[in-house]
């Protein structure tokens, strides 16, 4: 049941992102490249006035369109990773504070050895509302 809720949560976040509550991004691909699966980085960012914020929620959603499957991989916020320009032993959620979305995407790609095709950024208040709407996790 928990995996089901996480899947619904990811889908809702993706919908929120395309509805204007988040920011959606797509890397350039040629017209001939029609991927059968793609990765979406979902970031729940805690931003406050005067503070850049941190990505306190990170998860990669892999959508396989040829098999109609989705996989969700949460990344704990305290995961120690190498962040370009900062060092090899930083918390992954600090990447957002140091370099915003571009550095967070690059850090996740390097850490997991994957390509991030899209991302969705949701502020934590919006994320909290979605979780509450689903009855909590």
The DSSP bridge partners found for residue 86 are none
Along the 137 residues of the chain, how does pLDDT read in single tens digits?
445 445 555 555 554 444 334 444 455 544 455 568 899 999 988 877 788 888 888 999 999 888 888 899 999 999 999 999 998 899 999 999 999 999 999 999 999 999 999 998 888 666 667 677 777 76
Domain extent for 124? 2-28+36-133
The burial class, CB within 10 Å (0-12 / 13-18 / 19+), for 75 is buried
Q: What is the dihedral of CA 126, 60, 10, 45, to 10 degrees?
A: 0
Domain containing 101 — which CATH number?
A: 3.30.420.590
Note the pTM of the prediction, 2 decimals. 0.70
| Among candidate residues 4, 119, 10, 15, the one with its CA nearest the CA of residue 74 | 10
Give residue 103's pLDDT.
96
Write the secondary structure of the chain as one string of H (helix), E (strand) and C (coil): CHHHHHHHHHHHHHHHHHCCCCEEEECCCCCCCCCCEEEEEEEEEEEECCEEEEEEEEEEEEEECCCCEEEEEEECCCCEEEECCCEEEEECCHHHHHHHHHHHHHHHHHHHCCCCCEEEEEEHHHHHHHHHHCCCC
Give residue 56's pLDDT.
86
Instruction: Name the domain count of the chain.
Output: 1
């Amino acid at each position: 049941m928990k995996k089901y809720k996480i899947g619904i949560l990811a889908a809702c976040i993706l919908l929120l992102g395309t509805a204007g509550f988040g920011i959606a991004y797509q890397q350039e691909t040629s017209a001939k490249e029609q991927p059968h699966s793609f990765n979406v980085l979902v970031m729940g960012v805690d931003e406050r006035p005067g503070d850049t914020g941190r990505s306190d929620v990170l998860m990669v959603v892999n959508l396989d369109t040829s098999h109609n499957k989705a996989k969700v991989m949460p990344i704990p916020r305290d995961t120690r990773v190498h962040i370009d320009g900062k060092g090899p032993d930083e918390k992954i959620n600090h990447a957002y504070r140091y370099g915003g979305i571009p550095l967070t995407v690059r850090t996740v790609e390097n850490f997991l050895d994957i390509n991030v095709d899209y991302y969705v950024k949701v502020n934590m208040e919006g994320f909290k509302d979605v979780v509450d709407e689903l009855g909590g996790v």
